[in-house]
């Protein structure tokens, strides 16, 4: 744990000097410069406490109270403007301080005001997410907040606070040298603080990151993206796979024993079984079982299906059984009728378990779509693979395990083209607030109808909204004039849509196709003979829902 805390601390230090945090630094400077004594330390203490608390628990607290997810941030920005007003107009400060005059006899001076400023900063502090912060966020979203997670968040916050403390102390030293012009200096700091608050409102952090580039990326790779960091972060998450550690320690045989396979638990429904009855792993003893974690709107999963269909056709008669564990990403993927229709349309003929409560996902400590686990005749996991690709290796493992059962496997392996993308493509892009990334343009107003405006420039892999949208946690719902732009790099562009209506697609201003939306599923927007780069614009009819882009 000490190693992980060190990684978290260094990740925080890197965050504090990244482009995302630049709008916050003037506030730290002004806060330190307009106080005395230990005020800089109070500011940083407030920041560490509020960032740690609200990173881990804000979403749960606000949901329990039925409050908007951005209310705390808005209150914090309002407080920054109030503090700026007290510096610009001393009379306002005097009026605000009068109710608390009884506290002036206590030692500590303006520690309380410094701590309050720090608390506000912790709520508007939006660092550039690396692997450490991504892990903390994912665990918080899944309500898996243990003591280690709290310590890692604290280490990260303290690491980010150290450079900011130096800035605050520097501001205090500058203020001491300009004591003769103290009133003018305080007003200048008030202007600086108000300007920084405006920069946060207009999302200048994202613009700065785009303009300056990721100058901390190379440092981050040597801290957060190392094999050591990945190992410890996977351990905190419960492991990338329940069998990863066993694989690392197992003898370097072709198919080592990685431990007993968990049973299928907390399954809400079964499809493609006699009478849709449940299947237990024990009932499959003597067979080779391929457990495939998938979800029907995931393009990576869909590209895996031709290989699964070919293996099922070639080896099922020899003792191969495939169990598709359908663990949903989006709300509509929980619906039994939607999954039933998708399995029919996708020609999935093997048994499918609906893992809506993530029970089997958790039992396997799985973290990926798709993920394949091969189980031998004795119920032991012998091979696993995450994501697309290496189909030849998985098939060879199937053949070896079938041979262990005494089956006579076909002489030749199946022949299915591997369509896993090898060129640089735009990352999977979610559109709801829960996982929205690489967004530029108007400020997002969650869960309320709002009119948006496209960003003036659209960097590669970024997206932007225009017209009337309601941006929810998992999806965006189109209203009058709803449009979306995406600067993509890919051969194929897919989007998960729902509702009913039409979506007109244009690439670099030229009409590409019009989608007729009639079900919650994956739609193909762009298909080319080779990878290309361009600006995709989608024009939505009212009522159409959009969830995420995937690429190939």
Which three-class secondary structure string do you get for 448-483?
CEEEECCCCCCCCCCEEEEEEEEECCCCEEECCCCE
Beta strands 510-517 and 476-478, pairing class:
unpaired
Q: Within this chain, do residues 219 and 99 fall inside the same structural domain, yes or no?
A: yes
Instruction: Please write the tens of the pLDDT for every residue from 246-301.
Output: 555 555 556 788 888 999 998 999 999 999 899 999 999 999 999 999 988 777 78
**Highest mean pLDDT: which of 39-43, 220-224, 441-445?**
441-445
Is there a domain that residue 490 lies in? Answer: yes
Tokens (6 digits) for 10: 């260094």
**192 is written with which tokens?**
């600086």
pLDDT of the residue at 46: 81
pLDDT at 486: 94
Tell me if 41 is assigned to some domain.
yes
Residue 215 pLDDT greater than 70, yes or no: no
C-alpha span between 252 and 403 (Å, rounded): 19
DSSP 252: S
Angle 131-141/227-236 helices, nearest 10 degrees? 10
Element (H, E) at 177: helix 147-177
Give the start-end residues of each E strand in 61-110.
none
> Which tokens belong to 137?
């966020």
Most confident of the following: 50-59, 127-136, 331-340, 463-472: 463-472
158 and 205 part of one domain: yes
- 75 by Cβ neighbours in 10 Å (0-12 / 13-18 / 19+) ranks as exposed
Q: Are 54 and 46 in contact (CB under 8 A)?
A: no
pLDDT, position 488: 92
β-sheet bridge partners, residue 173: none
Structure tokens at 298: 């995931």
Say if residues 527 and 454 touch (Cβ distance below 8 Å).
no
Given this model, what pLDDT does residue 239 score?
59
Domain end residue (candidates: 170, 201, 228): 228
- 545-551 vs 288-294, strand pairing mode: unpaired
372 forms beta bridges with: 292, 385
Here the CATH number for the domain that contains residue 546 is: 2.60.120.260
Q: Which of 68-82, 128-142, 242-256, 270-284 has the highest mean pLDDT?
A: 270-284
DSSP for 328-371 reads: -SSGGGG-HHHHHHHHHHTT--S-EEE-TT-HHHHHTT---SSE
Q: Name the strand (E) or helix (H) holding 491.
A: strand 483-498
Phi and psi dihedrals of 144, rounded to 5? -110, 60
SS3 assignment, position 33: helix
Residue 337 has pLDDT above 50, yes or no: yes
Same domain, 437 and 388: no
| Domain of 382, in residue numbers | 239-404
Q: Is the pLDDT of residue 498 over 60?
A: yes
Q: How far is CA 13 from CA 17, 92, 223, 346, in A?
A: 7, 36, 11, 48
Domain boundary among 203, 228, 253: 228
Give me the residue label for tokens 């370097």: 252
Judge contact between 325 and 358, C-beta under 8 A.
no
> Is 196 part of any domain?
yes
CB 426 within 8 A of CB 488: yes
**DSSP assigned state of 380:** B
In the structure encoding, which two tokens stand for residue 259, read together?
């431990």
For residue range 156-174, what is the model confidence (pLDDT) as tens digits? 788 877 877 787 777 777 7
For residues 372 and 382, is the Cβ–Cβ distance under 8 A? no
Name 471's bridge partners.
Answer: 446, 476
Is 518's pLDDT higher than 50? yes
In a domain, 411, yes or no: no
Answer for the pair 386, 413: CB distance below 8 angstroms, yes or no.
Answer: no
Residue 407 has pLDDT above 90, yes or no: no
Choose the final residue of a domain: 209, 228, 247: 228
Output b/e per residue, 37-53; b: 16+ Cβ within 10 A: eebbbbbbbbbbbbbbb
The β-bridge relationship of strands 429-430 and 545-551 is: antiparallel
b/e per residue 232-267 (b: at least 16 CB within 10 A): bbbebbebbbbbbbeeeeeeeeebbebeebbebeeb
On whether residue 300 sits in a domain, the answer given is: yes
How many angstroms separate the CA atoms of 299 and 502, rounded? 21
Once rounded to an integer, what is the mean pLDDT over residues 166-195? 70
Exposure string over 11-26, b if 16+ CB within 10 A, otherwise e = bbbbbbebbbbbbbbb
Distance of alpha carbon 308 from alpha carbon 391, whole angstroms: 9
141 shares its domain with 182: yes
The pLDDT of residue 206: 43
Instruction: Give the tokens for residue 329.
Output: 């990403």
Q: Give the mean model confidence (pLDDT) for residues 522-549.
A: 89
d(CA 171, CA 193): 13
Question: Is 484 contained in some domain?
Answer: yes
pLDDT at 210 over 50: no
pLDDT of residue 191: 78
Percent of the chain with pLDDT over 70: 70
Tally Cβ neighbours within 10 Å of residue 502. 12
Shared domain for 19 and 82, answered yes or no, is yes
Q: What secondary structure letter does DSSP report for 20?
A: G
Across 105-121, average pLDDT? 59
266 and 350 in a single domain? The answer is: yes
Choose the weakest-confidence range: 148-152, 228-232, 416-420. 416-420
Q: Are residues 551 and 430 in contact, defined by beta-carbon separation less than 8 angstroms?
A: no
Look at residues 205, 201, 229 and name the one whose alpha carbon lies nearest to residue 130. Answer: 229
pLDDT for 535 beyond 80: yes
In a domain, 415, yes or no: no
Residues 26 and 165 in one domain: yes
Same domain, 45 and 178: yes
Strand segments, DSSP code E, in 232-355 are 269-271, 288-294, 320-326, 352-354
**What is the enclosing helix (H) or strand (E) of 516?**
strand 510-517
Task: Map residue 272 onto helix, strand or coil.
Answer: coil
Residue 268 sits in the same domain as residue 333: yes
Q: What is the pLDDT of residues 413-467, one digit of tens each?
A: 777 776 666 567 787 888 988 778 889 999 999 999 999 999 999 998 899 999 9
Tell me the pairing of strands 352-354 and 269-271.
antiparallel
One domain for residues 14 and 163: yes
Q: Is residue 419 part of a domain?
A: no
Domain count, the chain: 3
Pair 21, 66 in one domain: yes
Q: Same structural domain for residues 223 and 250?
A: no
CB atoms within 10 A of CB 319: 19
The three-class DSSP label of residue 318 is: helix
Say whether pLDDT at 15 is over 60: yes
Reply yes or no on whether the pLDDT at 550 is more than 70: yes
**Domain harbouring 290, CATH code:** 3.40.30.10
């Amino acid at each position: 744990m000490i190693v992980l805390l060190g990684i978290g601390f260094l990740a925080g230090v890197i965050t504090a000097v990244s482009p995302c945090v630049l709008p916050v630094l003037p506030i730290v400077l002004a806060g330190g410069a307009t106080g005395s004594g230990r005020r800089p330390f109070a500011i940083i203490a407030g920041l560490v406490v509020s960032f740690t608390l609200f990173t881990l628990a804000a979403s749960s607290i606000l949901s329990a109270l039925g409050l908007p997810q951005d209310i705390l941030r808005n209150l914090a920005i309002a407080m920054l403007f109030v503090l700026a007003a007290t510096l610009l107009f001393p009379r306002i400060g005097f009026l605000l301080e009068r109710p608390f005059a009884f506290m002036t006899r206590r030692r500590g001076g303006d520690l309380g005001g410094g701590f309050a400023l720090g608390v506000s900063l912790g709520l508007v502090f939006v660092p550039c997410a690396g692997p450490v912060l991504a892990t903390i966020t994912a665990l918080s979203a899944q309500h898996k907040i243990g003591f280690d997670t709290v310590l890692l968040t604290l280490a990260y916050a303290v690491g980010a606070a150290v450079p900011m403390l130096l800035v605050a102390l520097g501001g205090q030293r500058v203020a001491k040298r300009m004591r003769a012009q103290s009133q003018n200096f305080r007003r200048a700091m008030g202007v600086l603080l108000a300007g920084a608050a405006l920069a946060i409102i207009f999302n200048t952090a994202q613009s700065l990151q785009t303009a300056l580039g990721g100058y901390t990326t190379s440092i981050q790779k040597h801290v957060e993206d190392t094999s050591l960091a990945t190992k410890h972060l996977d351990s905190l998450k419960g492991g990338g796979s329940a069998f990863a550690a066993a694989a690392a320690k197992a003898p370097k045989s072709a198919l080592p024993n990685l431990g007993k396979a968990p049973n299928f638990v907390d399954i809400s429904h079964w499809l493609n079984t006699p009478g849709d009855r449940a299947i237990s792993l024990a009932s499959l003893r003597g067979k080779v079982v391929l457990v495939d974690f998938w979800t029907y709107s995931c393009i990576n999963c869909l590209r895996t299906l031709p290989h699964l269909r070919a293996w099922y056709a070639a080896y099922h008669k020899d003792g191969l059984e495939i169990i598709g564990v359908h663990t949903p990403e989006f709300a509509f993927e929980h619906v039994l009728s939607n999954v039933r229709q998708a399995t029919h349309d996708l020609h999935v003929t093997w048994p499918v378990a609906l893992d809506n409560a993530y029970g089997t996902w958790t039992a396997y400590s799985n973290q990926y779509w798709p993920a394949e686990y091969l189980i031998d005749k004795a119920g032991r996991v012998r091979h696993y693979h995450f994501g697309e690709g290496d189909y030849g290796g998985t098939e060879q493992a199937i053949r070896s395990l079938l041979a262990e059962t005494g089956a006579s496997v076909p002489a030749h392996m199946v022949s299915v083209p591997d369509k896993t993308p090898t060129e640089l493509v735009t990352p999977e892009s979610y559109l709801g607030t829960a996982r929205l990334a690489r967004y530029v343009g108007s400020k997002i107003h969650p869960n309320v109808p709002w009119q948006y405006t496209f960003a003036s420039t659209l960097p590669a892999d970024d997206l932007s909204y225009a017209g009337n949208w309601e941006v929810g946690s998992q999806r965006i719902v189109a209203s009058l004039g709803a449009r979306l732009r995406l600067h993509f790099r890919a051969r194929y562009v897919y989007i998960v849509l729902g509702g009913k209506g039409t979506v007109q697609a244009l690439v670099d201003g030229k009409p590409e196709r019009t989608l007729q939306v009639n079900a919650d599923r994956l739609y193909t927007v762009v298909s080319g003979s080779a990878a290309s780069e361009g600006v995709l614009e989608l024009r939505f009819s009212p009522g159409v829902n959009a969830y995420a882009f995937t690429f190939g």
